[in-house]
Amino acid sequence: MAYLLELKKVTKRFGGLVAVNRVDFTLEPGRIVSIIGPNGAGKTTLFNLITGIYKPDEGEILFEGRSLVGLRPDQITAQGISRTFQNIRLFGNMTVMENILVGMHTRFRASPVDILIQTPRFRREEQQLREEALQLIRFVGLRASPDELAKNLPYGEQRKVELARALAARPKLILLDEPTAGMNPQETAETTRLIRRLRDELGITVILIEHQMRVVMGISERVTVLDYGEKIAEGTPEEVRRNPRVIEAYLGRGVAIGAIA
Amino acid sequence: MLRAKTMEWVTQIRNGRSIYLVGVLGYIVAALLLMNWLSQPGLRDAVWYPLVSALAFAAFLGSLLVIYYAPLAGAVKAILGLAILLVLLPILGVRNTFLLEVATQVGIFAAMALGLNIVVGFAGLLDLGYVAFYAVGAYLWAIFGSPQANIAFGTNRFPLEPEWFFLFLFLAVGVAALTGILLGLPVLRLRGDYLAIVTLAFGEVIRVIVNNLDKPINLTNGPQGIRPVQRPPLFFKPWLSALGIRLDDPTLYALYFYFLVLLVIGFAIWLARRLENSWVGRAWTAIREDELAAQAMGIPLVRMKLAAFATGASFAGAMGMIFAAKQYFINPESFTFMESIGVLVMVIVGGMGSIPGAIVGATVVTILNLQVLKGLSLMLNKLRQAGVVIPIINFPLSQWPTQLEPAKYERLVFGILLILMMILRPQGLIPERRHRMELAEALGREERAEPEQLPVEEELPPVIPAPEVRPTRD
């Protein structure tokens, strides 16, 4: 089966620290997979490598068979990879609608000339994409008005705007960095359902970084565990849960031995 | 369309809005009467005359602001505003060309503030060397529109005929934009403070180059500057004569530059507004808000920043050229760091990112500089000559050192103005729409219409294609 995303021996060092160490990772289209690991394991660094914020020191990253290494983040987004951020990074002084329209940046075709003389093409495109933004707002279940400034929204709503903004580019692959961080159980359940719908209804492949095991175990088809930048385990949630190295990484050696015994 | 507008207008007047119209008209008439009274010849020698006339002119220009804020139909506002700018002000200006001179200078700075507003206000790139582009435009025409080019290139083809002015106006826009791109390419990878420092240096570099480019080939004539700079053709003079209007050439030129500047401002506003409400403007705002997130949304940072730089620079280029033609003479002194700061102050005072703000900021600062401070200086001079002594401390004004003339307080005034703005109104005189929304938010949500309740989980929007791929495991 052709992989949507393929990482081959990807390594990233910051000075003496090896943040990501020879990680291999493959992903078929249509999956929901999770990356877990203790704090500082290199999960977010891995996202930053895929989205082009960092350049890998070694290794290869292929998306639909084409290398992403050396492309700028905006070029990678244009290839069909969107992301959200661990600490929400909305454009605070822009409205919900504007945030989503910025997310659609790669899809605007109107030229500056179209903009200046407001050709029908410009108006039509603007109109269409605004309508689509409204649909996205409904899709993620946002209750706030589209004209609200993003920074005035409550936390959970901001997460939804960020998701809608990432969806706006019509990605093939979406990277969600701790989408349920700071949420109560009810919001977490809602978000979990939403993530499943991304795949089931929109056909988007999903990679999650997640700390809440309930979410990870509930929706991932495959879990990859990182520790100190290395991939220490991979498999179904059930396999990973029983893997002694994983238990050790999370809970310490003593506990791990106890658990096996 | 027109008919509908007229109907709307009529209903507005019937609905009791006419009181506002009367108020606005009353204000304009009062300002006109004041200006008219001040133009009596006998008053000119009065000690307070320079200051009061400056304030009267400011009040007159303020009528545009009154119109802007009055709750009137858009068409009414447009008619009133255009009547002031296109009819009343020129008439006053013909009687007193100094007013026209001030208005033109205000316009030049307003267009520059509009340009800088795109760079600083929209895209959030702090540019402290904006005057460099102004200089580029000015010298472009000064060199080719004067005999200077003969010295530099050893011909006798120059100065170019006045008709070339208009072609060069487009050239100045292009060359300034190109300069912006050339500067931007290496510089725009820097962020925040570093960008500010490098652009500051660039502004100074251009001035120093211009100051020293009289050797080995004399291109700019160095510190002596270039004179005389060709003016645009007075093509409409025969038409005016045919209409029976006879004005001397200086007045005609003053009017000419006034209308030219007005035209460029109109174009600048149009351009800025169209860009603001498109993906270009949104991308600029996104970069200002969060560069990393903006790039993650697929915005090519360098390209969009260059676009902002080039657009802003092109306004300055056009205005530099008009300035050179208007002044008849330019030298490097006109393009100092203080000019960059001045335009930045205009943008900040008006409200960063706000188009009307940039214009109001330019008006306030320019009138303060050109009229109020100069007026105070003139007043002081008159008092000094009259031998007035400050009471109590018994200090004769004739001993007041010339270094302390108000006209030299420009920097002090910029500083005080900025401090006051930061304390009292950090969002600017006419804040950007977003900041206004923020304010409205703080004043209470209940005043705003309840947002439409959107159903939480709805069927998938049809625009998004149904998935082909199915998970293999579940």
Q: Which ipTM score applies to this complex?
A: 0.93
CB < 8 Å to A53, chain B = 292, 296
Tell me which chain A residues have a C-beta less than 8 angstroms from the C-beta of B441.
149, 152
Query: Beta A17-27 vs A5-14: how paired, if at all?
Result: antiparallel
CA distances from A139 to A31, A135, A171, B392 (A): 20, 6, 15, 77
Flag whether residue A16 sits within 8 Å of chain B, measured between CB atoms.
Answer: no
Q: Does B460 touch chain A (CB under 8 A)?
A: yes
Closest CA to B278 of A126, A11, A95, A145: A126
CA distance A72 to chain B (A): 8
Segment among B48-52, B327-331, B362-366, B401-405 with least mean pLDDT: B401-405
Question: pLDDT confidence of B462, banded at 50, 70, 90?
Answer: very low
pLDDT for B472 beyond 70: no
Q: List CB contacts of B55: < 8 A, sequence separation 6 or more.
A: B372
pLDDT confidence of B443, banded at 50, 70, 90? low
pLDDT computed for residue B271 by the predictor: 95
Q: How many CB atoms lie within 10 A of CB B305?
A: 25
Strands A173-177 and A205-209: parallel
b/e B190-221 (16+ beta carbons within 10 angstroms → b): eeeeebbebbbebbbebbeebbebbeeeebbb
Q: Which residue of A has its CA nearest to B281?
A: A102
B441 touches chain A (CB under 8 A): yes
Q: Count Cβ atoms within 10 A of the Cβ of residue B119 and give its class: 0-12 exposed, 13-18 middle, 19 or more buried.
A: buried
Structure-model confidence comparison of residues A171 and B4, the more confident one: A171
Tell me if A115 and B274 make a contact (CB, 8 A cut-off).
yes
Q: Which residue of A has its CA nearest to B442?
A: A152
Output the pLDDT for position A151.
94
Other C-beta atoms lying within 10 Å of the C-beta of residue B153: 14
Are B296 and A78 within 8 A, CB to CB? no
Residue A250 confidence class, pLDDT cut points 50, 70, 90: confident
Residues 135-174 of chain A with CB under 8 A from chain B are: 135-139, 141-149, 152, 165, 169-170
pLDDT at B326 over 90: yes
Residue B342 and residue B17 in contact, taking contact as beta carbons nearer than 8 Å: no
Q: Is the predicted pLDDT of residue B15 greater than 70, yes or no?
A: no
Q: Which residues contact A52 (CB under 8 A, 6 or more apart)?
A: A68, A71, A72, A73, A75, A76
* Band (B463; pLDDT cuts 50, 70, 90): very low
Alpha carbon of residue A4 to chain centroid: 15
Architecture of the A26-54+70-80+171-261 domain: 3-Layer(aba) Sandwich (3.40)
Across the range B106-111, mean pLDDT stands at 96
Residue range B263-307, pLDDT digits in tens: 999 999 999 999 999 999 999 999 999 999 999 999 999 999 999
With CA atoms as reference, the chain A residue closest to B459 would be A139
Out of B274, B297, B460, the one facing A102 most closely (by C-beta) is: B297
Query: Is the pLDDT assigned to residue A162 strictly greater than 80?
Result: yes
Residue holding tokens 């990277």? A175
B470 touches chain A (CB under 8 A): yes
> Nearest CA to CA, how far is B68 from chain A (Å)?
24
Model confidence at B17, pLDDT cuts 50, 70, 90, reads: low
From chain B, the residues in CB contact with A148 under 8 A are 451
Which pLDDT score is estimated for B452?
40
The predicted pLDDT at position B38 comes to 86
| Residue of A144, A152, A202 with shortest CB distance to B464 | A202
- A108 in reach of chain B (CB within 8 A): yes
Q: Write down the pLDDT at residue B459.
A: 39
- Chain A: closest CA distance from residue B312 (Å): 15
pLDDT, tens digit, 9 for 90 and up, residues B309-325: 999 999 999 999 999 99
Mapped onto helix, strand or coil, the DSSP state of residue B41 is helix
CB atoms within 10 A of CB B406: 18
The whole-number average pLDDT for the span B353-362 is 95
From chain B, the residues in CB contact with A158 under 8 A are none
Beta-carbon separation of B271 and A105 below 8 A:
no
**What's the angle, vertex CA A246, arms to CA A240 and CA A248, rounded to 5?**
150
Q: What is the pLDDT of residue B232?
A: 92
| C-beta atoms surrounding A228 within 10 Å | 16
Collect all residues with Cβ–Cβ distance below 8 Å to A54 and sequence separation of at least 6. A12, A45, A48
Q: What pLDDT, on a 0 to 100 scale, did the predictor assign at position B14?
A: 63
- Are B458 and A138 within 8 A, CB to CB? yes
Q: Phi and psi for B352 in degrees, rounded to 5?
A: -65, 130
Which of B289, B354, B441 to probe by mutation at the A interface, max A CB count within 10 Å? B289
**Distance, CA of B35 to CA of B32 (rounded, Å):** 5
Average pLDDT over residues B106-123: 96
State whether B294 and A102 contact (CB < 8 Å).
yes
Q: Domain locations in chain B?
A: 1-95, 104-341
Instruction: Yes or no: say if A230 and A23 are a contact pair by the CB < 8 Å rule.
Output: yes
Please give the pLDDT value at position B457.
Answer: 39
Q: How far apart are CA B215 and CA B195, in angstroms?
A: 31
Number of Cβ atoms within 10 Å of the Cβ of B93: 20
- Beta-bridged to residue A34, according to DSSP, are A208, A223
Averaged pLDDT for residues B25-47? 87
With beta carbons under 8 A apart, name residues in chain A contacting B427. Answer: none
Mean pLDDT lowest among A47-51, B13-17, B335-339: B13-17
B393 has a pLDDT exceeding 80? yes
The answer on pLDDT for B460 being more than 70 is no
Asked if B437 and A149 come within 8 Å (Cβ–Cβ), the reply is yes
Which of B280, B297, B434 minimises the CB distance to A112? B280
Token pair for residue B127? 């540019």
Q: Is the pLDDT of residue B453 over 70?
A: no
Average predicted confidence (pLDDT) for chain B: 86
Rounded distance between C-alpha atoms, residue B317 and residue B313, angstroms: 6
Averaged pLDDT, B329-336: 93
The verdict on a CB contact (< 8 Å) between B434 and A94 is: yes
Q: Cβ–Cβ of A170/B299 closer than 8 Å?
A: no
Residue owning tokens 């083809």: B157
Task: Select the more confidently predicted residue: B456 or A238.
Answer: A238
**Segment B132-168, tens digit of pLDDT:** 999 999 999 999 999 988 888 888 888 899 999 999 9
Q: Tens of pLDDT along A23-52?
A: 999 999 999 999 999 988 999 999 999 999
Longest pairwise C-alpha distance within chain B: 99
Nearest Cβ partner for A108 among B274, B279, B466? B279
pLDDT at B89: 94
State the pTM of this model.
0.88
Determine the average pLDDT of the residues in B86-109.
Answer: 93
Alpha-carbon distance of B90 to B145, in angstroms, equals 27
Binning pLDDT at 50, 70 and 90, where does residue B438 land?
low
pLDDT of residue B446: 40
Phi and psi for B88 in degrees, rounded to 5?
-65, -50
